Amino acid sequence: MDGVIGYIVSVVVIPAVLAAVVGGLALATPLRRREWAVGAGLAIALPLAFVASFVSELGSVAMLRKFMVVEGDDAPFERWHWLGIACAALIALGFATTFARSQVARGGERFVDLASLLVAAVAAGIFVQFPQPSIASQIGIAGLVLAAGSAVALAGGALLWISWGAFGILAALAGIGGFASLAVMAGAVSMASFLLAILAAIGGKSIRDAKPVESAGAPLVVVASMLALIARGGDAYDQSRTPDWIWWLVPLVPGFALLFMRQSLRAPSIAAATFWRTFGAALVGVAVLGAAIAMDASGGGAEGDDADPYADMYGG
């Protein structure tokens, strides 16, 4: 079992803790009083969790070989490695979005958010190509980023809790689909979201004039883009019976915060409002994951090997 624990620690726990430390500087220190710091902190932390997990799993060479010849490396660039590059680029876009928001007049932030989301969608549509790319598939990727942006915008103060669940579902789907590497990378983002949600709650209580975590600005763009791209990447390589629509639905799960919006708006406290929004998204998320598990189990595949600690990662 040491091998499994060591592996999980290196590709999930350490990247998530690293992201929590970076994000925690903005969420649980006096920086929390600055709106830009909260936005930038989250925009760095969440993609950082994915990138750190990616590098831990595959090495930085997997991304670098797209742009340069690396000595001693003769492996070709694999299309799914775009996910690592995209997440690294999202850190820069998150910074730019936060900076642009700080420069515009009050009320102009929404235009910055929209412009940033459009940049992310167009860039993803042009560059992030998975196997058998076509014009339709690339428009689909761009469209999913935009749709996820609309959905994530509804998460409000429950952004990090919903992000925890949504990336967790993607990790589970990737695991079901036989894509262990993507499962651990999405798992790292999920765990980072959870740790950041805890830190955000602690910081919100303990720091006077703390700015709230909101599903706007750089965090919105980053979470929406990551959800859309990881979902498309997972779907493109999926070896299970999970239908495409399940993969497409996961980035939209945050939008189901709407289900209990009335209760959320009437909630007596921020914590209660956060609960109702999370509850709505969680209901749909659990249903989606349950459907995927049921469909995969109904396929009549061979029995798993319970004695194999890696069984979920590569079957057996």
Partner 1 sequence: MRNMRNALLLAALVALPVSLAPMLATAPVPARQSATAASAITFDPIHSMAIFRIQHLGAGHFYGRFNELTGTATWPLDDSAAPVFDVTAEVKKVDTGSEKLDGNLQGPNFFNQAEFPTIQFKSKSAERIGERHWKVKGDLTLRGVTKEIETDCTVTGIGKGPTGQKVGFECAFTLMRADYGMKWGIEAPKGALGNEVRMTIALEGDVAKAKE
Tokens 């399940």 found at = 246
Q: Which of 31, 169, 182, 197 binds partner 1 (CB under 8 A)?
A: 182
CB of 191 to partner 1, least distance (A): 17
Q: Which region, judged by CB under 8 A, interacts with partner 1, from 40-48, 103-111, 171-179, 282-290?
A: 171-179
Q: Which of 23, 156, 165, 177 binds partner 1 (CB under 8 A)?
A: 177
Q: Which region, judged by CB under 8 A, interacts with partner 1, from 2-10, 248-256, 262-270, 273-281?
A: 2-10
Cβ-based neighbours of 220, under 8 Å, separated by 6 or more = 113, 117, 149, 152, 153, 159
Q: Which residue, 1 or 105, has its beta carbon nearer to partner 1? A: 1
Q: Which residue, 105 or 307, has its beta carbon nearer to partner 1? A: 307
CB of 182 to partner 1, least distance (A): 8
Q: Does 143 bind partner 1 (CB under 8 A)?
A: no
Contact yes or no for 174/183 (Cβ under 8 A): yes
Which residues, 60 to 89, sit near partner 1 by CB under 8 A? Answer: 74-76, 78-80
Q: Does 114 bind partner 1 (CB under 8 A)?
A: no
Q: What is the DSSP letter of 154?
A: T
Cβ-based neighbours of 234, under 8 Å, separated by 6 or more = 170, 173, 174, 177, 179, 182, 186, 247
Cα Rg, the chain, nearest whole Å: 19
Burial of 213 (0-12, 13-18, 19+ CB in 10 A): buried
Q: Which region, judged by CB under 8 A, interacts with partner 1, from 45-53, 250-258, 284-292, 306-314?
A: 306-314
Instruction: Please report the DSSP string for 130-152 in residue order.
Output: -SS--HHHHHHHHHHHHHHHHHH
Q: Which residue, 178 or 212, has its beta carbon nearer to partner 1? A: 178
CB of 132 to partner 1, least distance (A): 8
CB of 124 to partner 1, least distance (A): 19
Q: Which region, judged by CB under 8 A, interacts with partner 1, from 7-15, 20-28, 31-39, 41-49?
A: 7-15
Q: What is the DSSP letter of 179?
A: -
Contact yes or no for 137/78 (Cβ under 8 A): no
Applying CB under 8 A, the site for partner 1 has a residue count of: 39
Q: What is the DSSP letter of 257?
A: G
Helices (H), the chain: 2-8, 14-27, 35-58, 61-64, 82-103, 109-127, 135-153, 159-176, 180-206, 217-237, 244-249, 261-265, 270-297, 311-314
Q: Does 310 bind partner 1 (CB under 8 A)?
A: yes
Q: Which of 87, 120, 121, 180 binds partner 1 (CB under 8 A)?
A: 180
Q: Which region, judged by CB under 8 A, interacts with partner 1, from 24-32, 218-226, 233-241, 246-254?
A: 233-241
Provide the binding-site residues for partner 1, judged by CB under 8 A: 2-4, 6-7, 10-11, 56-57, 74-76, 78-80, 130-132, 177-182, 236-237, 239-240, 299-302, 304, 308, 310, 313-316
